[in-house]
Structure 1
Amino acid sequence: MTAPTTPRGGSHWIEQWDPEDEQFWQESGRRTARRNLLLSVISEHIGFSIWTLWSVLVLFMGPEYGVDAAGKFFLIATATLVGAVIRVPYTFAVARFGGRNWTVFSAALLLAPTVAAYAVLEPGTSYGTFLLVAALTGVGGGNFASSMTNINAFFPLREKGWALGLNAGGGNIGVPVVQLVGLLVIGTAGAGHPRVLLGIYIPLIVLAAALAARHMDNLAPVRNDTGAAREAIRDRHTWIMAFLYVGTFGSFIGYSFAFGLVLQTQFGRTPLQAASLTFLGPLLGSLIRPVGGRLADRLGGARITLWNFAGMAAATSVVVLASVLESLPVFLVGFTALFVLSGLGNGSTYKMIPGIFQRRALAEGLTGEAAAAHGRRLSGAAMGLIGAVGALGGLGINLAFRQSFQTAGTGTAAFVAFLGCYGACALVTWAVYLRRRDAAPGPAAATQPKLGYAEV
Structure 2
Amino acid sequence: MKLSDLKSSGHWPTLLTAFLYFDFSFMVWTLLGALGPQIAETLGLTAGQKGMMVAVPILGGAVLRLALGLLVDRIGAKTTGIIAQIVVMAALTGGWIFGLKNFEATLVFGFVLGVAGASFAVALPQAGRWYPPNMQGVVLGLAGAGNVGVVLDSLIAPRLASVYGWQAVFGFALIPAVITFAVYAFFSKDAPGAVVKKKLSDYVRLLKEKDAHWFCFYYTVSFGGFVGLASYYNLYFRSEFGLSAVHAGDFAAACTFVGAIARPIGGAISDRIGGIRSMIVLYCVAGGLLLVGAGIHSFWTNLIIFLGVSAALGMCNGSIFQLLPQRFGKDMGVMTGLVGCGGGIGGFYLASSLGLSKQAFGSCSIGFVAFSVLCFVAVTGLILVKTRWRTTWGTLTDARI
TM-score by length of 1: 0.81
Q: Does 1:321 pair with 2:292?
A: no
Q: Does 1:224 pair with 2:184?
A: no
Q: Which amino acid in structure 2 is aligned with residue 271 of structure 1?
A: A
Change (3 A) 1:157 1:130: same
Counterpart-to-counterpart distance in 2, 1:330 and 1:86: 37
Q: Which amino acid in structure 2 is aligned with residue 385 of structure 1?
A: L
- Asked whether the equivalents of residues 78 and 189 of structure 2 are also in contact (C-alpha less than 8 Å), the reply is yes
Q: Work out which of the residue numbers 151, 161, 183 in structure 2 matches 1:176.
A: 151
Q: Does 1:299 pair with 2:252?
A: no
**Secondary structure of the equivalent of 2:295?**
helix
Q: Which runs of 5+ in 2 are unaligned?
A: none
**Secondary structure of the equivalent of 1:308?**
helix
Counterpart-to-counterpart distance in 2, 1:35 and 1:64: 42
Q: Does 1:147 pair with 2:105?
A: no
Counterpart-to-counterpart distance in 1, 2:378 and 2:152: 29
Q: Work out which of the residue numbers 305, 317, 323 in structure 2 matches 1:352.
A: 323
Q: Does 1:214 pair with 2:186?
A: yes
Counterpart-to-counterpart distance in 1, 2:353 and 2:317: 21
Q: Work out which of the residue numbers 374, 377, 396 in structure 2 matches 1:421.
A: 374
- Asked whether the equivalents of residues 176 and 278 of structure 1 are also in contact (C-alpha less than 8 Å), the reply is yes
Counterpart-to-counterpart distance in 1, 2:59 and 2:355: 15
1:88 offset after TM fit, Å? 0.4
Counterpart-to-counterpart distance in 2, 1:258 and 1:181: 16
Q: Which amino acid in structure 2 is aligned with residue 205 of structure 1?
A: A
Match of 2:38 in 1: 60
Map Cα deviations across residues 327-386 of structure 1 (whole Å, 9 max, x no partner). 11111111111101110000001111122x2xxxxxxxxxxxxxxxxx521344322101
1:45 offset after TM fit, Å? 0.9
Q: Which runs of 5+ in 1 are unaligned?
A: 1-25, 358-374, 441-449
Match of 1:362 in 2: none
Greater mean deviation of Cα atoms: 218-227 or 89-98? 218-227
Match of 1:260 in 2: 234
Map Cα deviations across residues 87-144 of structure 1 (whole Å, 9 max, x no partner). 001112112112222222222221122112212436xx22222221122111111111
Q: Which amino acid in structure 2 is aligned with residue 225 of structure 1?
A: K
Counterpart-to-counterpart distance in 1, 2:7 and 2:226: 35
Match of 1:30 in 2: 9
Counterpart-to-counterpart distance in 1, 2:112 and 2:202: 30
**Secondary structure of the equivalent of 2:195?**
coil
Counterpart-to-counterpart distance in 1, 2:139 and 2:264: 8
Q: Which amino acid in structure 1 is aligned with residue 320 of structure 2?
A: T
Q: Work out which of the residue numbers 77, 80, 85 in structure 2 matches 1:99.
A: 77
Counterpart-to-counterpart distance in 1, 2:69 and 2:263: 21
1:249 offset after TM fit, Å? 0.3
Question: Which structure has the highest helix share of the two?
Answer: 2
1:181 offset after TM fit, Å? 1.2
Match of 1:205 in 2: 177
Q: Which amino acid in structure 1 is aligned with residue 324 of structure 2?
A: I
Q: Work out which of the residue numbers 99, 102, 127 in structure 1 matches 2:103.
A: 127
Match of 1:156 in 2: 132
Q: Does 1:83 pair with 2:61?
A: yes
**Aligned-residue identity in percent:** 22
Paired residues, number = 394
- Asked whether the equivalents of residues 153 and 222 of structure 1 are also in contact (C-alpha less than 8 Å), the reply is no
1:48 offset after TM fit, Å? 0.5
Match of 1:363 in 2: none
Counterpart-to-counterpart distance in 1, 2:36 and 2:12: 37
Map Cα deviations across residues 50-80 of structure 1 (whole Å, 9 max, x no partner). 1101001222226342222221211111111
Match of 2:20 in 1: 42
After the TM superposition, which segments of 4 or more aligned residues of structure 1 sit over 3 Å from their partners? 26-29, 225-231, 434-437, 450-455
Match of 1:338 in 2: 309
Match of 1:308 in 2: 282
Greater mean deviation of Cα atoms: 299-308 or 218-227? 218-227
Change (3 A) 1:223 1:193: same
Q: Does 1:431 pair with 2:375?
A: no
Q: Does 1:241 pair with 2:192?
A: no
- Asked whether the equivalents of residues 58 and 72 of structure 1 are also in contact (C-alpha less than 8 Å), the reply is yes
**Secondary structure of the equivalent of 2:35?**
helix
Match of 2:95 in 1: 117
Counterpart-to-counterpart distance in 1, 2:290 and 2:343: 19
